[in-house]
């Protein structure tokens, strides 16, 4: 399935000649008989927030790991910012916030941030402090991560992913387990990052986050089912509800498969004779 970007209302038109921020061609990943990512093609222009929406087990995390170069594809290729992945040098321009908190509990807030920033070559203390200010942890520098609340640990994980000012940011279900007020803060941060030119791919199974994204990619069984703005996808599905729209597109492959395997009327009559 080929997926290309569409323009959302009010957003600047993407430059068709520009190098896509994220590009995948024929991407597949199998674990034995299980195909976790199944033929994904995508081309995502820079400076936008893309929502990767699908239920648990739909392939979101595996797809993100392939896009970041942290997992090897069974087949297909990935480019981020025009560079073939995996690329160790290109990781300096990529941020990745994992679904589980990727921090060291025994280290303090500052020690965690400094460690992860150093991995990306970031040594500017002023820039690192600004990152902590962004997630409102600048007053907890010496607090061990294990003494932080769950929401604060999520904020610290985000700060570690953003410490080097990446141009492309992959966020794997960043709002899972956080309170509504923190979710609002997170999305405000995401919007500011995109306004500053970063490209974000945010995975989620929370459908009500759809309208916060510039574009959505519905994923299920390792396949991208549909892409477009929230309004476009609801219109194409003939509904005003984004969850119903997802179910509409999820049903289409099953219906197509059923139609392709069903015997035609003539064959049925011949068999009956």
197-226 pLDDT, tens digit per residue, is 999 999 988 887 888 999 999 999 999 999
Pick the closest to residue 9 from 237, 162, 188, 234 (CA basis).
Answer: 234
What average pLDDT score do residues 239-260 get? 78
Pair 245, 229: CB distance under 8 Å: no
Q: What is the pLDDT of residue 181?
A: 83
d(CA 26, CA 46) in angstroms, rounded, equals 21
Name the pLDDT band for 269 (thresholds 50, 70, 90): very low
pLDDT at 209: 85
- The mean pLDDT of 236-247, rounded to a whole number, is 94
Instruction: Tell me what the pLDDT averaged over the chain comes to.
Output: 86
Residue at token pair 């294990």 = 146
Is the pLDDT at 265 greater than 60? The verdict is: no
**Is there a contact between 120 and 99 (Cβ–Cβ < 8 Å)?**
no
Domains of the chain with bracketed CATH: 18-256 (3.40.50.300)
How many angstroms separate the CA atoms of 34 and 95, rounded? 28
For the segment 95-139, what is each residue's pLDDT rounded down to a tens digit? 999 988 889 999 999 999 999 999 888 889 999 999 998 888 999
Task: Pick 189 or 63 by higher pLDDT.
Answer: 63
Q: How far apart are CA 49 and CA 54, in angstroms?
A: 16
Q: Please list the helix, strand and coil fractions of the chain in percent, rounded to the nearest 5, in that order.
A: 40, 25, 35
- Give tens-digit pLDDT for 141-159: 999 999 999 889 988 999 9
């Amino acid at each position: 399935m080929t997926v290309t970007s569409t323009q959302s209302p009010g957003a600047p038109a993407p430059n068709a000649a520009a190098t896509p921020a994220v590009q995948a061609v024929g991407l597949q990943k199998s674990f034995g008989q299980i195909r976790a990512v199944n033929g994904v093609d995508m081309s995502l222009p820079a400076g936008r927030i893309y929502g990767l929406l699908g239920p648990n087990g739909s392939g979101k995390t595996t797809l993100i790991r392939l896009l970041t170069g942290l997992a090897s594809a069974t087949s297909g290729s990935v480019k981020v910012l025009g560079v073939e992945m995996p690329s160790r040098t290109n990781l300096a321009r990529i941020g990745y916030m994992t679904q589980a908190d990727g921090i060291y509990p025994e280290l303090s807030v500052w020690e965690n941030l400094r460690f992860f920033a150093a991995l990306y070559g970031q040594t500017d203390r002023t820039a690192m402090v600004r990152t902590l200010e962004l997630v409102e942890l600048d007053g907890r520098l010496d607090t061990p991560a294990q003494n932080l609340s769950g929401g604060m640990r999520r904020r610290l994980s985000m700060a570690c992913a953003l410490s080097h000012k990446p141009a492309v940011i992959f966020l794997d279900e960043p709002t899972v387990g956080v309170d509504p007020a923190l979710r609002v803060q997170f999305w405000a941060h995401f919007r500011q990052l995109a306004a500053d030119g970063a490209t974000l791919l945010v995975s989620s199974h929370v459908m009500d986050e759809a309208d916060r994204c510039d574009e959505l990619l519905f994923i299920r069984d390792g396949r991208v089912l549909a892409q477009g703005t929230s309004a476009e996808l609801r219109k194409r599905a003939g509904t005003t509800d984004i969850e119903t729209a997802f179910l509409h597109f999820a049903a289409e492959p099953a219906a197509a498969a059923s139609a392709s395997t069903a015997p035609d009327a003539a064959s049925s009559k011949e068999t009956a004779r």
